[in-house]
Chains A and B, each alone.
Chain A
Amino acid sequence: MDAIKEFCCQFGELGRLNGIVTIPANESKPDVAVILVTAGFTPKAGPFRLYTLVARESAKKGLVCLRFDLGGIGNSEQLDTGKPLSVRTKLDIDHAVKFLKNEYGIKKYVLGGLCSGAEDSFIYARHDPDVVGVFLIDGHAYITRGYRLRLIFSRKLVKKMGRVILSKLRLLPLIKHSNESSLEGDQSGLVDYKQLDIEDSTVILKSLLSREVKLLYIYTAGMSDKFNGAKQFNEMFPKIDSKNLITLKYLPRMGHVQIFEEDRKEICGAISNWLEGNFVYSG
C-alpha cells in the first residue's frame, strides 16, 4: 500500500457526494485522472471491491483515481429528484470533475465503470471535451446476425455435448439452473438496467472517435444474451472507423461481476494496462 495514498472526499452541494481519491504516493502530479462511476445500486467500492482494486492499480500506474457514489447510491445524497436522472447523473459527474480539477489540478479525464456506470461514463464523455478515455465493462451490446449464428453453434451443439458429458459425470444438476449470466446469480438486482439504443450509442461513439477519445470495451459472459464473440463489436457498428482508438476485451470465461480473485485480477489488469498504455505518459 505504500505506493498509493487514499483520502476521503466530499463534494457537491453541502458535500453531499461521497468519494475516495487514490493517488500515487510518489508525489507525482499527474494531469489525467480516472473517475469510476458507480454501477446500479452498488456503492463505490464496486462489486466484490472491483472499483477499489482498479483505483489502487491506476494510482500505482501513476494516475489519480476518484471513486464516488452517485447521488442516492451508497453514502451520497440525492438532490433535486424532480430533474431527469440523466441530468442528475451528469450533474454528479460534473461535480466530480470540478473537484479533481480544483483539488488536484487535473486537466484530462478517463471515465469508466461497469454496466450502468459504463453507460453513464460513455454518455457523459460526449459532453465534456476534457474526457480522453472511456472504459466500459459490459456496456451496450446489440444482437447481430453473427451473434445468432454463433449462438446456434455454441448453445445447440457444443453445449449439448457438454451437458451430455456433464450428465455422465453427474455434474449436471449443479449447472442445470445456471447460464452464463447467472454465474453470480440474479443480476437484475434492485434496478433493472436499460442500455442505450443502438442509434444513440452510434451517434455518441462517432462523436467520441472524432475527438480521438480512446475506448476500452470489455465484455464478459454476463452479456452473453447480447454479446458472444470478439467479432461482434464490428458487426454492431459496421460503419464506424475505430481509428485504432477502440480496444476490445472479450472475457467469456467470467461473469458480469467477479466473485473469483483471478477474475478480478484479470479485469483489473486489463483496465490498468490500458490506462497505462494510453494515458500515463500522454500528458
Chain B
Amino acid sequence: MSIYTNSPGREPERLSLKLPYDTQKTSSFSGYHKSIMQLHLDSSIHHFLSSQSREQVDVMLVSAFIALLYRYTGQKQIPISLLINRKSTRVINSSFFTNGELPFSKMCQEVLEVISGGTEQRASYNQVRVVIRGKNSNGETIDGGLIRTTPVAHKELHQPDLQLEINDIDSVSTYLVYNSNLFTSSTIERLTKHYNNLLVSILEAGASAPLAELNLFSPLENEWYRQTCNGGSWDPLSRPLHLDIEEHAVNQSDKLAVSDKLQSLTYQELNHKSNQLANFLIGNGVGPESRLIVCLEPSVHIAVTLLAILKAGAVYVPLNPSHPEYRIKTIINDTNPEMVITQSAILKKHDFGGNIRIVELDANKELAGQSNSNPNSTIEPDGTAYIYYTSGTTGMPKGSLGTYSNLNHYIRVSQDKYGFSKADIMPALASYTFSISMFELLSPLVAGGTLRILDLQHILDAKAMVGTLSEVTFVHAGPSLLKQLVKYINRNVDDYSMFSGLRHLSSGGDMVPPDLLRSLQLIFQTTELYVIYGCSEIACMGCTYEIDPVRPVEKTYVGRPFKNVSILLLDKDGNIVPIGVAGEVCIGGNGVASSYLNRPDLTEKKFFTLDGIKYYRTGDVGRLTAAGELELLGREDFQIQIHGMRVELGEVEYHLRQSPGVKDAVVVEKINGPVSNTLVAYYVKKDRYQIGAESLRQHMVQHVPDYMIPSFYVELDALPLNLNNKVDRKRLQNEDIKTSEPVEKPRTESQKALAALWSDLLHKKEVGLYDNFLAIGGDSLLAMEMISKVHETMGVQLDGLSILRESLHVLAGICDTQLGRVVSPDVSASGSLELNSVKPIKSYFFGPDSDLYGLLHLREGLKNDQAVLICPPIGGAYKRCYFLLKILGDQLADSGVPVMRFDYFGTNDSMGEDREATIERWVSDIEHSYEELQRQTGAQVKVLGIRMGALLALKALSKKQVEHWVLWDPVMDGETYYNDLANIMKIKVWRARTLRGLNKPTNNLGVEELVGITFSDLTLKKLRTLNFNSVELSEKTKLFQLLTTGAISNEERDKWSGFFDSNCNELEVNCGWSDSDSFSTAIIDKRILSALEEMLRNGCD
C-alpha cells in the first residue's frame, strides 16, 4: 500500500508562468541568447506618462505588464522579480494576484504596495523580471538598440526568459529583453504591440476597467482573426444524402457498394434492402424524431440500417453490443427509443427492456415482404438525424443530437475538401458507435464508391491491415492504429510502392504526434496526408491540416477550419487569445449539434452563440500560429482520449466510488512511453472493508466500456492534496505504480518470453503467469504490436482476440503448440520433477452400483468442516467449464475445502449410455454424490450448481441440510432450455445437410438428440417440464447466484427476474453456453473463477 501524507513541511510547488514560448522549455534546457526589443509606445501614452510622477509611471507600467501577462497566461498568480535600480538596488520577488474582474486600479495598488514595502530577497523566479532604472542607476543602459554592458550588480541572478526594462534616463523608454532561444522576434514584437494596445485601452477605459475588458488587438489584427478563423462560406448541395445513394442505385446498379468479410451488396441490393427496412419502419410509425437504437455486429447490415433510418427521416442511435449491460440500459433509458434494431445473437446477450419493439434483422419475417421501392419521406433539415454518446463527467454518458443539416454539412464538406469519387474504396475502421464512423460509412456511398466494413479481428491483424491499405484508396484511422501499422510496415515491408493506390490517408480523433506524421510521410509518399480535427458535437469536420509531403512536421497541428466552420480560441474570460497563446478551442458553424439529450444544463454550458454563429466549447486547448494554423496542446479539463475515444475521468471516478467498500477514488492518466494512455485508479477504502483490484475491476467491467476500465488499482490511506487542498493529480501522475497484488511468476521458456515482451510493451516490471494482457494495461492496439513482436521473436502467429481473452499462461500454451509442441529444455529453477507441487485428484467409481465417475479434491492434513459438491451442467456446457471446475476444485482444496465433482450417469466417464439416462437418475446421482462427499469428509456440504446442474441439484437436495448454495447461470425452466438446445440442433442439422448432399442425418435426428447427447423420449419430455416451482428451501438457506449474462437468452433472463435479486453477482462474461459456433471453447476466466470461489466461501457482498 502506498501512503501519502499531506504534511505541511512539503516544499511548496513553484509557480510557473505559461508564457507563449516558441520553443518548448524543458528542465534540461539551458541555452540563453539575449535579445532586446524596444517598445514603441503610442504618443498618447507618452503624453500621459509625462504628466505622472516617477513612481506613478513605474506602477502603471509594471501593472500593465502584469495585466498583459494575465491576459497571456490566464493565471491568477503572476510571479515576477522586480529589480529596482534607483538610489540603491533592491530585488523583490512577488506573486501578484489577478483575475479578469480585477479593476486595473486595484492592480496598481497591489504593485504600489509591493514596490513601496517589499523586502529584499534573493531571486528565485527566473521566468519574468521587471527592471526599473532611475536616472542615477548603475546598471545596463541601452543605446540605439546596442547593448552597452556594465557590471551587473546581482550576478547571482539567473537570466530571466523575459524582462521588461523601464528607463527614465531622459524620458520614459521601455524594452523587452528576452531569450531568443525561447521566443522568436515576431512573438516578442506582438507582445510589445499588445502591451501598447493595452496601455491605450487603459487610458481610454479608465483605471477602473477590469483586466478582462482591456483590449489587446489592433483593428488590423481583428481582421486577420476574422479571416483566418473562418473556413469561408460555401453553399453545399442541400438535398438529403440518401438521395445520392438512390441515384447511384439507378445509374450504377451493379457496382459494389458495400462488403464485409462474408457478403457484399451492389448499389441496387443496398438500396433495395434499405428500402425494405425503411418501408417497414415507416409502416410501423417511425418518422421524424423517432429514435432507433442500432445494436449490430459490424457488417453490411450497419450500412443498410443507417441508410434505412435516413430514408425514414428518423434518428440513428448506434449502440455497441460489446458494452456492459449497465451502460446499454443507461443509454436506452436516456434515449427512450421506439425501436431497437439488432440481431438474434445480440438479443440473447442483452435485455433491451420489455416495452421497446425489437427488430431482429436476421429473423424478422416481415422485412422480406416489404416493398423495395424508394420510400416517400420528408426530411426536415432541423430534425434530429443521429445521437452519439460519449463519456460524461457525472457517471452518465451524454448524447449529442446532430440534425440532418449537421449531417449534410458533415459529409458534403468533407466530400468537397477531399474530393471523393466513384473510384474510391474506403474501409470502415472506427467503431460505428463513434461519430467519425459516419464519415467512413457515408462518404464512399454518397460518392458512389465502395465501402469495406472490417471486423475487429481484421483491424487488429497488422498484416491483414497492410494488405487492406494496398487495396483501398481512402483511409481514415486513429493515430494509435496508424502507429501500430507503421511499426509493422517498418519491420516487414521493404517496398512501399504497394501503397501507391492509396490516394488519401488521414488521421484524427486524438492528438496526432509529429513523429507519426513523419513516418507516414516516408511510407506513403504518393498519398495525400491530412489531419482531421473535430468531435461528435460539431459533426467531426472542424479543422484539417494537409501534411506537406517533404517538410518535416514539428507540432501537433490540426490546420484550418473547413468551409462553413469558424473557430475561436478563448481565454477563461471569454476573450480571444493572441497568436501563440493557449486558449480553449471553440468551433462554430453548420456542423454544431443542436444540444445534448436531456441535459439542458450541459447544453447551456457547452454551446453559445456569437455574432449569429453557434459555437461549441470543445474543452481542447490550442493556439494559433502566425501562419493561421491551429495547434492542439491538450485538454483544459479532466477529459482524456484513449485511442481516440473520449473519456471523462469524472465518469470513471463516479463508478469507482460506487463500488462497494470504496470511500474515495481518483483516476489519473499515466503517460508512459509507447503506452500512451493508461488509466490508474487510486482509491481509499472504507473501514472494515477488504477490497482488491480484482473486485474493483469486476465492478468497472460491469459499468463502463473496456477502454474506460483502469488498468491499475492502487490503495491509499488518503488521497494526496496540493496546496489548494485539492487532490494532487499531478503528484499521482508522477508516482510509480505499486500495487499490492501478488504475482505468480512465469516458469517455462514461452511464458518467460511472453512475459518479457509484455513487460517491455506495457512498461511493467513484473508480469504474472495468470495476468491478462487487457487487465494489466494492454489494449486492442497494443495487442497488434504484441502479435507482431511474438511473430518476430518467437515465430508464432497469435490472434488478437486470443491475446485479449487469454491469460499469459494460456497464450504460452498456444505458443508451445504452434512451435511444434517443443518448448526449450528445462529452464525452471528447480529443474527436477516438482513432485511437491503435484496434488493428484482422487478418481473412483461410486454409487450403489459403482457406476458414477467421481473426483475428489482433498488435501491431506487440511481437512475442513466445509466441503463443496459441484453439480455440473450437461452436454456442451459441461465441456466448456470442465477446465475451470478442475482449477476451482484445486484452489478450494488447497485452502482446506474438499471438493467433489462427478459425471452424471450416461455422460462423460460415468457408466451407461446417454439413452439410458433419466432425469430421476440424475437427481439420484446428485443425492449419492452428496452422501459420498459427506462420507468422505464428514463436512458440512455447500453446493455449486451450474446450468441444468443447478436445477437438478435443487430438486435433489433442497430437503437436505444444505445451507449454502451457489448457482451459476441456473436453468430456470426446462422448456426454455430445451428450446435453446433444439434450435442449435436444428442449425446443426441444416448445416449437416451441406455435407450430406441435402439429406438429413438419418437417425430421427433433431427429435431426441440435443447437441451431442441422445435422450430417450421420456427423458426429453421430463426435461421440458423441469422448473423451480416445486423447489422449497428452508429459511436458513443462503442462495447465491452468479450470472454471466452474456450468453443467456432474454427469455431465460426474464425467468430469473426477481428470483435472486438479493444475492446476485452479475458478470458481463459471455460463456457462450449455447453458442452453436464455438463448442470447443473452454471457459478460463479469472473473474468467474474468483467470483465462484468467493461466493462459495463467503457468499456475495
Cβ of B419 under 8 Å from chain A = no
- Number of A residues with CB within 8 Å of any CB on chain B: 69
Choice from A52, A176, A192, A253 contacting B262 with Cβ under 8 Å: A176
A20 at the interface (CB under 8 A from B): yes
> Is the pair A82, B826 in contact by a Cβ cutoff of 8 Å?
yes
Kindly state the separation between the CA atoms of A178 and B838 in the bound complex, as whole angstroms: 43
**Contact between A79 and B838, CB atoms less than 8 A apart:** yes
Query: What is the CB-to-nearest-CB distance from B794 to chain A, in angstroms, rounded to a whole number?
Result: 13
For residue B1084, which residues in chain A have a CB less than 8 angstroms away from its CB? 190
Check if B745 is an interface residue, CB within 8 A of chain A: no
Task: Please name all residues of chain B whose beta carbon is closer than 8 Å to the beta carbon of A13 when the two chains form the complex.
Answer: 833, 835, 838
Determine whether the beta carbon of B825 is less than 8 Å from that of A186. no
Residue of B nearest to A55 (CB): B909
Within the assembled complex, what's the spacing in Å between the Cα atoms of A166 and B886?
44
CA distance A191 to B818 in the complex (A): 9
Chain B nearest CB from A115 CB (Å) reads 10
Q: How far is the CA of A211 from the CA of B463 in the complex (A)?
A: 46
Does B821 contact A81, Cβ atoms closer than 8 Å?
no
Q: Which residues of B contact A20 (CB under 8 A)?
A: 853, 909
CB distance from A204 to the nearest CB of B (A): 14
In the complex, chain B residues 820-849 whose Cβ is within 8 Å of any chain A Cβ: 820-828, 831-835, 838-845
Least distance between B1003 CB and chain A CB atoms (Å) = 5
A interface footprint on B984-1025 (CB within 8 Å = 1, 0 otherwise): 000110111111101001110100010111100000000000
CB contact between A85 and one of B821, B826, B853, B990 (< 8 Å): that residue: B821
User: Does A44 lie within 8 Å of B1003, measured CB to CB?
Assistant: no
Of B814, B826, B838, B1009, which contacts A191 at CB under 8 A? Answer: B814
Q: Shortest CB–CB separation between residue B793 and chain A, in angstroms?
A: 18
B-contacting residues, A174-211, CB 8 Å = 174-178, 180, 182-194
The verdict on A174 contacting B998 (CB below 8 Å), with A6-B911, A187-B1080 known, is no
Contact B909 A260 (CB under 8 A): no
- Is the Cβ of B909 less than 8 Å from the Cβ of A42? no
Q: Take A49-B914, A175-B993, A176-B262 as given contacts and tell me if A14 and B821 are in contact as well, using a CB distance cutoff of 8 Å.
A: no
Q: Is B223 an interface residue (CB 8 A)?
A: no
Query: Cα distance A77–B834 when bound, in Å?
Result: 11
Chain A nearest CB, measured from B797 CB (Å):
9
Chain B proximity of A52: nearest CB distance (Å): 6
List the B side residues contacting A175 at CB < 8 Å: 990-991, 993-994
What's the dominant secondary structure at chain B's contact region? loop
A104 adjacent to chain B (CB < 8 Å): no
Cβ–Cβ contact A74 & B990, under 8 A: no
Decide yes or no whether B747 CB sits under 8 A from chain A: yes
Q: Report the separation of the CA atoms of residues A262 and B748 in the bound assembly, to the nearest whole angstrom.
A: 43
A46 to B823: give the CA distance in the assembly, Å: 26
Q: Give Cα A79–Cα B835 distance, bound, in whole angstroms.
A: 8
Q: Which residues from A are CB-within-8-Å of B842?
A: 10
Tell whether B1077 is near chain A: CB-to-CB under 8 Å: yes
Which of chain B's residues have a CB closer than 8 A to the CB of A232? none
Residues of B within 8 A of A10 (CB): 840, 842-843
Q: Are B1003 and A261 in contact (CB under 8 A)?
A: yes
Contacts of A41 in B (CB 8 A): 883, 1080, 1082
Closest to A265 in B: B1003
Asked if B102 is at the interface (CB within 8 A of a chain A CB), the reply is no
**Contact call B835/A75, Cβ cutoff below 8 A:** no
Q: Closest residue to B1002 on the A side, CB-wise? A: A262
Q: Say which residue of A86, A186, A262 sits within 8 Å of B1077 (CB atoms).
A: A186
Interface hub of B833, B839, B840, B990 (most chain A Cβ within 10 A): B840
Name the A residues within 8 Å of B776 (CB-CB): none
A188 to chain B: which residues have CB within 8 Å?
1080
What is the CB-to-nearest-CB distance from A125 to chain B, in angstroms, rounded to a whole number?
Answer: 16
Q: A20-B909, A173-B362, A176-B262 known; A14 and B838 CB under 8 Å?
A: yes
Interface members, chain A 248-262 (any B CB < 8 Å): 252-255, 257, 259-262
| A48 CA to B876 CA, complexed, in Å | 8
| Complex interface: chain B residues within 8 A of A80 (CB) | 826, 828, 832-834
Docked CA distance A6–B844 (Å): 10
Bound: A174/B818 CA distance, A: 33
Find the A residue at minimum CB distance from B903: A45
Residues on A with beta carbons closer than 8 Å to the beta carbon of B993: 171, 175
Given A75-B855, A175-B993, A187-B1080, are A192 and B843 neighbors across the interface (CB < 8 Å)?
A: no
User: In the bound complex, do residue B813 and residue A191 qualify as a contact, i.e. CB atoms below 8 Å apart?
Assistant: yes
Contact B834 A257 (CB under 8 A): no
Q: Is B333 an interface residue (CB 8 A)?
A: no
Q: Which residue of A lies closest to B1077 (CB)?
A: A185
What distance in Å separates the Cβ of B929 from its nearest Cβ neighbour in chain A? 15
Determine the chain B residues whose CB is within 8 A of the CB of A74 once the complex forms: 882, 886
Known contacts being A190-B1081, A193-B817, is A260 close to B1009, with CB within 8 Å?
A: yes
Question: Are B853 and A189 in touch, CB under 8 angstroms?
Answer: no
- CB–CB B882/A43 < 8 A: yes
**Would you give the shortest CB distance from B364 to chain A, in whole angstroms?**
13
A144: CB under 8 A from chain B?
A: no
B255 adjacent to chain A (CB < 8 Å):
no
Name B821's contact: one of A49, A84, A165, A263 (CB within 8 Å): A84
Is A40 an interface residue when CB atoms closer than 8 A count as contact?
yes
In the complex with contacts A74-B886, A83-B826, A260-B1005, A221-B995 CB distance below 8 A: yes
The reply to whether A257 and B1077 form a contact with Cβ atoms under 8 Å apart is no
| Assembled-state Cα–Cα distance A163/B262 (Å) | 15
The smallest C-beta distance from A114 to any residue of chain B, in angstroms, reads 11
Q: Given A84-B825, A259-B988, are A8 and B1076 neighbors across the interface (CB < 8 Å)?
A: no
**B863 within 8 Å of A (CB atoms):** no
A217-231 interface bits toward B, Cβ cutoff 8 Å, 1 = contact, 0 = none:
000010000000000
**Of the residues A8, A162, A193, contact of B843 by C-beta under 8 Å:** A8
Do B840 and A14 touch (CB < 8 A)?
yes
User: In the complex, which residues of chain B have a beta carbon less than 8 angstroms from the beta carbon of A184?
Assistant: 988, 1079-1080
A121 contacts the other chain (CB 8 A): no
Give Cα A159–Cα B479 distance, bound, in whole angstroms.
Answer: 43
Q: Do the beta carbons of B909 and A178 come within 8 Å of each other? A: no
Q: With a CB–CB cut-off of 8 A, which chain A residues contact B838?
A: 13-14, 16, 77, 79
The residues in A between 54 and 102 inclusive whose CB is less than 8 angstroms from any CB of B are 74-75, 77, 79-86, 89
Q: Does B908 contact A (CB under 8 A)?
A: yes
Using Cβ atoms and an 8 Å threshold, which residues of chain A touch B262? 176-177
List chain A residues, Cβ under 8 A from B813.
190-191
Residue B816 interfacial (CB < 8 Å)? yes
A186 and B843 in contact (CB under 8 A), knowing A13-B835, A75-B855, A262-B1002? no
Contact in complex: B840, A82 (CB < 8 Å): no
A4 to chain B, nearest CB (A): 9
Nearest-neighbour CB distance to chain B for A103, whole angstroms, equals 16
> Pick the contact of A261 from B816, B832, B1014, B1080 — CB < 8 Å?
B1014
Please report the C-alpha to C-alpha distance between residue A193 and residue B1044 in the assembled complex, in whole angstroms. Answer: 29
A82 x B995 contact (CB < 8 A): no
Q: Mark B959-994, 1 if CB is under 8 A from A, else 0.
A: 000000000000000000000000000011011111
Interface string of B244-265 (1 = CB under 8 A from A): 0000000000000000001100
A14 to B842 alpha-carbon distance, docked (Å): 11
* Contact present for A183 and B988 (CB under 8 Å): yes
Q: In A126-185, which residues have CB < 8 Å from any B CB?
A: 162, 165-166, 171, 173-178, 180, 182-185
A193 to B1077, alpha carbons, bound, how many Å?
18
Task: Name B883's closest neighbour in chain A (CB-CB).
Answer: A41
Indicate if B907 sits at the interface (CB-CB under 8 A). yes
Residue A15, interface by CB 8 Å: yes
B1078 and chain A: residue at smallest CB distance: A186
Q: Which listed residue (B814, B1005, B1076) contacts A185, Cβ 8 A? A: B1076
What are 16 A-B interface contacts by the 8 Å CB criterion? Answer: A7-B845, A8-B845, A14-B840, A20-B909, A47-B1012, A84-B822, A162-B998, A171-B990, A185-B1077, A185-B1079, A186-B1077, A187-B1080, A221-B995, A255-B992, A260-B1001, A261-B1003
The 8 A-B pairs with the shortest beta carbon distances in the complex, nearest first, are A189-B1080, A82-B828, A48-B1012, A82-B826, A185-B1077, A186-B1078, A174-B990, A45-B908
Having A77-B840, A187-B1080, A253-B992, one finds 4 other A-B pairs with CB under 8 Å, namely A14-B840, A75-B843, A81-B748, A171-B990
